[in-house]
Structure 1
């Protein structure tokens, strides 16, 4: 049985994401077709970090250095097998949102509840910061979107145009902290 230790990620831990396997097979993804969002066949093996390793490494360090929060899931050998980050900057007109900047689980440890636990931990931190909601720019893969819906996320009430324009294919989701 897998023993997982969840703890705050420190700057010295950041390089461990290089040991994670970010690959994902995407059978179907959500796409806008004739003005309607629908699942379309993609049949694509993505073997790298979305936007590349350097982007995620830099984002992880920036979150920590800018008073955000990063939590990792470590196995019994203290190897990083998953992590989640939220940024401390609030945004939104009607709600106080914080951004879930990253949530990744290494390939061999997916579907074991690690992502759900990491999301729960960052949600508790966002609640302590007095945020109303967590904003998520979810990748469009069917499994990714299904994960977020399964943990209680819904489509955002208030679109952040800057985040949307970064990748219009992303699902813009939110998680309400008030019902916890």
Structure 2
């Protein structure tokens, strides 16, 4: 059985994301077709970081420098196998949202509960900050969206136009904090 340690990431840990295998085969993805969201066959092998490694490295660094929260999952050899980041800035008109900026699990460690545990840890931090909800711009792959729905996320009720326009294919979700 895999032994996983979860701990807060520091600036010097950012380079460790290079150990993660972010590749993903996308068979189906959610797309807007004739005004209705539906699954569309994509049949695409994404072999690297979406938007490039530097983008994710810099986003992780920015989250830490701006008092956000970054948590890593480490295997028994102290290798980073997953991470999640939560940005500190509040936004929203009717709710206080915080953005789940990144969640990655290395390919060989998916479907082991690591992503769910990272999400639960970050949800506790969002509660400490007195946020109402976590906002997620999820990649539209069928498995990605299924994961978020399985842990209790729903389609957002208050769309962040800027985040939506950044990538209209992303699925805009939210998680209600109790």
With normalisation by structure 1, the TM-score equals 0.98
Query: Which whole-Å CA distance do the structure 2 matches of 1:54 and 1:151 have between them?
Result: 29
Q: Which residue of 2 aligns with 1:43?
A: 43
Query: Which whole-Å CA distance do the structure 2 matches of 1:54 and 1:98 have between them?
Result: 23
Any residues of structure 2 matched to 1:46-57 within 5 Å, and which? 46-57=46-57
Q: Which residue of 2 aligns with 1:104?
A: 104
Q: Which residue of 2 aligns with 1:2?
A: 2
Any residues of structure 2 matched to 1:127-166 within 5 Å, and which? 127-166=127-166
Report the CA distance between 1:34 and its aligned residue.
1.1
Any residues of structure 2 matched to 1:9-158 within 5 Å, and which? 9-158=9-158
Query: Which whole-Å CA distance do the structure 2 matches of 1:35 and 1:124 have between them?
Result: 36
Report the CA distance between 1:14 and its aligned residue.
0.6
Deviations 1:35-82 (A, max 9, x none): 111001000000011111000000000000000000000001110000
Query: Which whole-Å CA distance do the structure 1 matches of 2:126 and 2:106 have between them?
Result: 24
**Misfit runs of 4+, over 2 Å:** none
Deviations 1:4-56 (A, max 9, x none): 00000011111010111000000000011111110010000000111110000
Query: Which whole-Å CA distance do the structure 1 matches of 2:156 and 2:36 have between them?
Result: 17
- Worse overlay, 31-40 or 118-127: 31-40
User: Where in structure 1 are there 5+ consecutive unaligned residues?
Assistant: none
SS of 2:55 mapped into structure 1: helix
Give the RMSD, CA atoms, in angstroms.
0.4
SS of 1:57 mapped into structure 2: helix
Query: Which whole-Å CA distance do the structure 2 matches of 1:161 and 1:35 have between them?
Result: 17
Deviations 1:109-151 (A, max 9, x none): 0000000000000000000000000000000000000000000
Query: Which whole-Å CA distance do the structure 1 matches of 2:32 and 2:163 have between them?
Result: 17
SS of 1:90 mapped into structure 2: coil
